[in-house]
Amino acid sequence: MNDLEELKELLSVPRKIIITTHQRPDGDAMGSSLALYLYLQQKGHAATVISPTDYPDFLSWIPGNDTVVIYEKEPLRSKALVAEAELIFCLDFNKLYRLEELGKLIAQSTATKVLIDHHLEPDDFAEFQMSRVSACSTAELVYDFIIQSGDRELISQDIATCIYTGILTDTDRFRIPTTTPAVHRIAAELLELGINHTQIYEAVYETFTENRLRFFGYCIREKLEIIKELKTGIICLETADLKKFHIQSGDTEGVVNYPLWIKGIRLSAFIIQRPDEVKLSFRSKGTFDVNELAHLNFSGGGHKNAAGGRSPLSVAETREKLIAILAPLKNQLNK
């Protein structure tokens, strides 16, 4: 982190602190946020995690979850907390628009801002940055932040559980290329602190409702389209599809990964109708850069092999636009 000593000086006395993350937070967003919250609480700070939106029920067990404030449910309380904040930690996002209305409040706040993130090309809105795209997760960076602050002994079993959850989910179960030897060493240290890694895995990946499991089957059987010449799989969902299975926040998490399970598929796209606009998620294998695809064409971004975006068009029109964009990239997809 740039100017870590200066930030440590700011944190040497109790502060009112907000920790926030991106809308519809995933395991890394909540794991890293709650790990930092529990750490700052131990240091004597009055810290609060504010999430822009609700998040999946399969993350509601994470230590500290019962203290989280949801902006869309408690906007007045959230605004008051932001107004009082002396420091705002921004975790697992690189651009304030990813927080929607909450992002506008934070942009206007005079509080000192700290960015801890691993996405490409972060906006310059924070006085302090810990930004490393080679990190497997923001949870890994929060672990590094605690260690670099000289507080290894403050990593409790609950903090370790939060960090492990973030690493587990953002490495897709220790699978993606950024899962370095250092990441495995961190995981080993967390295990030595007594975390129940089997229980964490089951809570995240093996607590589907019957509806959600049937929905995944529907996505694969009825909605998956394979474009062999482009080595691409696409799943498109309309509002009616979501209503059919009573889909709740987070129930679509992981759907985008399934097309990549097919031999020879290099790119997976998930296009879904949300209440306000159409959203896209991309995953890729190898050298095909979905961050560039999302950034140049769908007002989004992320990582080389995992990114997202948005579209003002309908689901069907967005699908047609995507295929038209991919057609000239056939050689890249067939490398």
- Per-residue pLDDT of 201-221, as tens digits, reads 999 999 999 999 999 999 999
The phi and psi torsions of 147 (rounded to 5 degrees) equal -65, -45
pLDDT on residue 38: 98
Residue whose structure tokens are 């690189």: 94
Residue 143 · residue 1 · CB < 8 Å: no
Report how far residue 322's alpha carbon sits from residue 162's, in angstroms, rounded to the nearest whole number: 36
Report how far residue 168's alpha carbon sits from residue 315's, in angstroms, rounded to the nearest whole number: 31
Residue 292 · residue 327 · CB < 8 Å: no
pLDDT on residue 51: 97
Q: Mention every residue, 6+ apart, whose C-beta is less than 8 A from residue 75.
A: 101
At residue 335 the predicted structure's pLDDT band, cuts being 50, 70 and 90, is confident
Mean pLDDT along residues 46-62 = 95
Question: What pLDDT, in 10s, does the model give residues 277-293?
Answer: 999 999 999 999 999 99
Displacement of CA 173 from its chain's centroid (Å): 14
Q: Mention every residue, 6+ apart, whose C-beta is less than 8 A from residue 135.
A: 118, 141, 144, 178
pLDDT at 158 over 90: yes
Alpha-carbon separation of residue 173 from 14, 164, 178, 326 (angstroms)? 37, 10, 12, 29
Residue 165: which H helix or E strand, with range? Answer: helix 157-170
Residue 99 · residue 78 · CB < 8 Å: no
What whole-number percentage of the chain has pLDDT above 70?
Answer: 100
Residue 30 or residue 303, greater confidence: 30
In the chain, domain spans: 4-205, 211-333
pLDDT on residue 120: 86
Single-letter code of the amino acid located at 323: I
What whole-number percentage of the chain has pLDDT above 90?
Answer: 91
pLDDT at 1 over 80: no
Report how far residue 30's alpha carbon sits from residue 37's, in angstroms, rounded to the nearest whole number: 10
pLDDT at 253 over 80: yes
Closest Cα partner for 299 from 61, 43, 49, 97?
97
Residue whose structure tokens are 């691409």: 232
At residue 98 the predicted structure's pLDDT band, cuts being 50, 70 and 90, is confident
pLDDT on residue 248: 84
Alpha-carbon separation of residue 76 from 47, 70, 81, 83, 97 (angstroms)? 17, 11, 9, 11, 20
Mean pLDDT along residues 81-90 = 98
Mean pLDDT along residues 17-42 = 97
Mean pLDDT along residues 89-113 = 94
Report how far residue 313's alpha carbon sits from residue 215's, in angstroms, rounded to the nearest whole number: 24
Q: 3-class SS at 131?
A: strand
User: What is the rounded average pLDDT for all residues in the chain?
Assistant: 95
pLDDT on residue 166: 98
Report how far residue 68's alpha carbon sits from residue 35's, in angstroms, rounded to the nearest whole number: 12
Single-letter code of the amino acid located at 22: H
User: Does the domain formed by 4-205 have CATH 3.90.1640.10?
Assistant: yes
Closest Cα partner for 144 from 168, 180, 116?
116
pTM for the whole thing?
0.92
Mean pLDDT along residues 187-192 = 98
Mean pLDDT along residues 228-235 = 97
Buried b (16+ CB within 10 A) or exposed e, 125-142: ebbbbbbeeebbbbbbbb
What does the DSSP 8-state code read for residue 221? Answer: I
pLDDT on residue 206: 94
Buried b (16+ CB within 10 A) or exposed e, 212-241: beebbeebeeebbeebeebbbbbbbbbeeb
pLDDT on residue 266: 97
Give me the CATH code for the 211-333 domain, please: 3.10.310.30
Asked if the domains 4-205 and 211-333 are classified in one and the same CATH topology, the answer is no
Mean pLDDT along residues 63-70 = 98
Residue 44 or residue 176, greater confidence: 44
- Residues forming a β-bridge with 236: 271
Mean pLDDT along residues 159-169 = 98
Report how far residue 189's alpha carbon sits from residue 167's, in angstroms, rounded to the nearest whole number: 13
pLDDT on residue 276: 86
pLDDT at 7 over 80: yes
pLDDT at 197 over 80: yes
pLDDT on residue 134: 94
Q: 3-class SS at 232?
A: strand
